Amino acid sequence: MLRFWRATINSLNGLIFAFRSERAVREEVVALILALPLSWLVGVTPARRVELVVVVLLLLVVELLNTAIEKLADRLTLDHDPQIGRVKDMGSAAVGVALAIAGLTWLFAIAERIGII
């Protein structure tokens, strides 16, 4: 039980640090807060409402991992290193893909709600 408690505290500390230090994380937390009530308006079924919230959570997870990669890379060296630059670009690409998944999921649900689909 103590291990679980410590892991929870570490996770909370990481989330707080990312929230304080990264604008993108703050923006995605705001998106998550907005997604909670909006999913009830947009989602046609309970499962669709859950999907709409989960894709925003997925986006936040990918952003947290990207932030961790960037912080670690910056800790290694602040000099320009082409390999580190490519690693950071891949993390950014992962965020972009997650954002596309979230956006397409929301667009599909809106189209479903208004009867296009």
Distance CA 13, CA 113 (A): 38
Distance CA 35, CA 46 (A): 14
Question: Which residues are identified as catalytic?
Answer: 63
> What contacts 52, CB < 8 A, 6 or more positions away?
35, 38, 39, 42, 43, 105, 106, 109
